[in-house]
Structure formats: structure tokens, C-alpha cells
Amino acid sequence: MHQNSPLDHEKEVIYEGIEILNSKLHGCIKIRPKNSYDRHFVTITRGEGGKCFANVGRIKKNRINLDSKCYHKSVVMHEFIHAIGFYHEHQRIDRDDHIEIQWDNIKDKLQFAFKQQINTDTFGVPYDHLSIMHYTWRAFAKDRSKPTIESKHHSIPTKKLGSSHEPTDYDVMKIKRMYGCDGGYDGYTHSDQLSPNYDSGLDYSQGVFHEDKDYSDFDTSAYGGSPNGDEYYGEENVSPNAAFSAVFYDGFY
């Protein structure tokens, strides 16, 4: 166990988040404790400083860091999905068709977490405003009465951005397509452009969403990536189109 490992009650939150994620990804990916034969894995550390973060994709010595304020099941799942290989939804190549970033209201040192990632793949999955990987409407705002991200779609209110507490169907679909678990998908595209007037058909009355979910209230930073972001490794049986040659991690310390 890592010397800065989570406390026992915090581990319970981690296990609960993993259980939900494993259930959602059943038949594709399973997160489990590492064994002595595993060469690639994630180490979970309990750092301080108000930061929740994970490296994106498979890199050397990957870890998920959870500050004492980060122990929420949705944060745990968010960070594991970074390790699985995805940046934030609001960093997608097609994001400007769906949202508008209000750069002037973002804290200067955190603007990198809103930077568009142009070398990524949508895997043919529509933009998901509600994704567990999407920042909320006022994340890291200088003035929290104003948004840092605004929705361009009438059917998705700005205050609903990033409001899912669990991986959405689209989150799950993207992971399965990256890892080749979706047998009905045979191509990759960046062209899932939707009209600003499209109707998502989403029902907000089902209690799945909560507009007050905003972990920047805790001064945490749920971002992915690292200064060593160029340290990606290839892996057999991983799609050449998979963003960042990402592969799944078998477990954690």
C-alpha cells in the first residue's frame, strides 16, 4: 500500500465508484486490484492541496490523486475514466458547436483544463453536455455568479452542464467503442455535428441530474493530464484510432 494511500473510509468510496463503473462497463472493462503479474496499473494516492487528478491514458507510473475533499463516487469515476483514456467532454474537437467557453471568467492557472484537445476522437458518439466528464457551468470561475461554460443548445440549459453523477450512456458508449466492445460500430468520425436547435429528448424529471454538483465549490480541480503527457505507449489489440493509445489499467494500489 502506498504511504500516502487513502484512509479506510475513503477506500469505501473508491470501491463504491469502481463497482458502479464496472457495472456500467460489464463485458468490456473490469477494474480490479493489481496482482504480481500486472505490468500496467494505476496507483491511487491521497495527496493534499485540494486536487483531484489523473493522468490521461496509459503512461508510465500513472496515478489517481484524491485529496481529502475528493471522495465522492462521481469524482472517483471521473478520474478512472481519465486513466482509461479520455479527456474532458468539453475538450472535444467538436465542442465549439455545442458550448461556448467564457475564458475571461476562468481562473488563470486553470485555463489549461479547458483547452481543446484536437488530436482526439469522438468515436462517432454525439456530444454529451451531461457527461460525467463535462465540467459544470461555473467550474473554476473567477466570478461564480457567471458561467465559465455556456450551452449553445436550447434543450440543454447551461446549468445542467456536467450534471450527471454517473457515467451516461454516451460515456459508456465511447469507452466501449475505444476498446472495441461495441460490435455494431465500424468507423471513427469527428463529424457528429448537431444543430444548435436539436432536441436531445432528455427527461430532466427523472432525478438523475443535480444542477448543484460542482466540485469546484471544494476548491478541487478534477482535471486530467500531466506535464509528461507525451509519454504514451502503444499496446497490441488497441485500436490505432484510440485517443492517445490509451489502454485499461488492471488495478490499483
Active site residues: 79
* Contact (Cβ atoms closer than 8 angstroms) between residue 116 and residue 93: yes
3-state secondary structure 112-150: HHHCCCCCCCCCCCCCCCCCCCCCCCCCCECCCCCCCEE
Tell me how far CA of residue 234 lies from CA of 60, 215, 239, in angstroms.
Answer: 12, 33, 10
Tell me how far CA of residue 191 lies from CA of 61, 114, 127, 188, 246, in angstroms.
Answer: 34, 21, 11, 9, 22
* Contact (Cβ atoms closer than 8 angstroms) between residue 179 and residue 28: yes
**In 3D, which of 32, 33, 39 has the Cα closest to residue 60?**
39
Residue 244 CB-half CA count within 13 A: 24
Tell me how far CA of residue 244 lies from CA of 82, 114, 115, 155, in angstroms.
Answer: 11, 18, 16, 32
Please name the helix (run of DSSP H) or strand (run of DSSP E) that holds residue 18, with its range, or none.
helix 8-24
Q: What are the grid coordinates assigned to 70, written together?
A: 475528493
Residue at 160: amino acid letter: K
